[in-house]
Every structure is written in C-alpha cells, then in structure tokens.
Structure 1
Amino acid sequence: MKQATVTWEGDMLFKATTGTGHAVLMDAAESAGGKNTAARPADLVLVALGGCTGMDVVSILRKMRIPFDRFEVALESDNAEEHPKVFRAIRVVYRLWGEGVPVDRYLRAIELSWTRYCSVSNTLKHAAHLTYRAELNGQEVGRGEHPAPALSGERA
C-alpha cells in the first residue's frame, strides 16, 4: 500500500510527505494566491510519469547489459480548457545517447515499461491519450501510443 500526507504550510504552499519519508513541495502561481515557489500538483503528474517510465527503461537496459551515456524523458500535455482542466493528451519523448545501442532492445525496454511495469502510465492511459517517441543519438527510431478510451458523454 502506498501512502502520502499533504500538509498546508501557509498561503498556497503544501508539503507532501511520502510513506517512505521523502518530501515534495507544491505551490500555486501568484495569480492563484501562491508565491510560485514550487511545482504545481498537475506538473508533478507529468514528473511522476517521466520518473516511473524512465526508471523502468534504465533498469531494463541495465538488465539487458546495454551501456549508454545519457538518458532523459521529456513530457508535455494538452489539458481541457475548463475546470477541472483534465489531461487530454500526454506526449512522452525518450532520448537516449550511446554508441552501439541496439534499436530493437531500446524500443523493447520502452514497450515493457508502457505495457507491463509503469503504474503511472498504466493508470493515466485510462484518462488521457498517451503517445511516445523514441530518439537514439538525436534520431527518431520509434513511436507508440496508449489511446484513451472514450470518456462518458464524449465522442471517440
């Protein structure tokens, strides 16, 4: 079971503490009564997705004994215009650098994360259209997606 406690620290600043004792601060923009001193909660959803799938890919590549020099995950989202401004689409770009990395193994690591291991992507895929692009040494080498199911009251 996962646990977290979120405590109001004043103004619109909140401190989240995980069940493992790690802390994360959240704040609102000045226009919403905050001081813009920390990430917004919705930003942390993207961060959670990037961290979850990124850790999977690194772990899988290491188990495959595939060395690499650098890795990053970039994310962006489209959100509804009206409140609650839900995520409609999330785009993930995996960027890996390294000599001699087999493209098929790199793409397999991403697919395993998306289909089997990343709890965040497998939760979000029920609410938003998730797509990814994989780059190796600056060149696109693959794409994939988790289409969101049609939400009630909306056309597919």
Structure 2
Amino acid sequence: MNHTVTTTWKQNLQFESDNPSGHKVLIDTSVENGGQNSGLSPKAMMLSSLAGCSGLDVISVLNKMKVQVDDFKIITTGELTEEHPKHYHSVHVVYQFFGKELPQDKLKKAVDLSVEKYCGVMEMFRKFAEVTIEIEYIES
C-alpha cells in the first residue's frame, strides 16, 4: 500500500501539504528562521504524527474495552541532536488520562498495545531515536 501526499510551495517558506482524504495542513518555520510561523514546523509535525497515531490506537482499544475517560492528552517531547542534520535522538511520550475512578490496568494495556504492536509511526521513530513512555492518571 502506498501513501502519496502533494506538498505545494505557497509563499516565502510556507508550504501546503494534502493527503489522500483531501485535508490540508500548513507547514512553515519560525520568524527567526525566515518564515511567518503560520503552520506546523516539519519536526513538530513528526511529533504530532507520533502522538496522533498512538492516540488513535489507544482510543480504538478503549472503545473496544468500553472504557471511557473524561479527557486524554499526549505530550510528546523530542530532543534534537546538536549537529546538522538535526534530528530527534530521543523522544518522550506522556499519556495523560483524566477522569474518575480510572481503570489504570485497562488504560495501561491500551497504551502498551499501541506502543508495542499497533503504532507504525512509533516503530518508525524507534529506527532513529530512543523512545520512552510515561502514563499519568489524573483523577478529577
């Protein structure tokens, strides 16, 4: 199966990228790097892709388990190398679950399934970075 996106230069250092579903995203860089800060940076988009991929897995598994949470956030932090080409050498992913009487065992199982089995983006990241995982249960 192939995935194809088309990325089109818009102006200055801004690009627009599509995907097969027709949705578009703006890519740009910071003002200090010559951009207008009007979209996600390419490296930030990578972290968002990792969180989005794993998040989809986690919610799908929780739905199958009939587990509900009040809120769910994923905080993904990447540490870049010092030298060019700068790339993430380590990434830390924090899964935050919010709710009352959270079933920690089921939430952990959902995260583990994503991290160890389902998330292809997580697997890609492991090819070039050390990936660490943390789960936080926040009772409300």
Is the TM-score greater than 0.5?
Answer: yes
Match of 1:71 in 2: 72
Q: Distance in 1 between matches of 2:119 and 2:40?
A: 22
Match of 1:45 in 2: 46
**CA offsets, 1:60-109, max 9 Å, x none?**
11110112111000111110011111101000100001223321111110
Listed as ranges, the gaps of 5+ residues in structure 2 are none
Match of 1:133 in 2: 134
Is the partner of 1:19 in helix, strand or coil? coil
Compare 88-97 and 100-109 and name the one that shifted more.
100-109
Q: 1:36 and 2:34 equivalent?
A: no
Q: Distance in 2 between matches of 1:31 and 1:102?
A: 45
Match of 2:102 in 1: 101
TM-score, with length taken from structure 2: 0.94
Is the partner of 1:37 in helix, strand or coil? coil
Match of 2:86 in 1: 85
Give the counterpart letter for 1:62 in structure 2.
N
Match of 1:20 in 2: 21
Map 1:136-155 → 2, pairs under 5 A: 136-137=137-138
Q: Distance in 2 between matches of 1:38 and 1:66?
A: 34
Match of 2:114 in 1: 113
Identical counterparts, % of pairs: 33
Q: Distance in 1 between matches of 2:69 and 2:104?
A: 12
Which structure has the highest helix share of the two? 2
Listed as ranges, the gaps of 5+ residues in structure 1 are 139-156
Give the counterpart letter for 2:98 in structure 1.
W
Q: Distance in 1 between matches of 2:34 and 2:9?
A: 13
- What is the aligned-residue RMSD (CA, Å)? 1.1
Q: Distance in 2 between matches of 1:72 and 1:55?
A: 12
TM-score, with length taken from structure 1: 0.85
Is the partner of 1:4 in helix, strand or coil? coil
Measure how far apart 1:56 and its partner are: 0.8
Is the partner of 2:6 in helix, strand or coil? strand
Is the partner of 1:137 in helix, strand or coil? strand
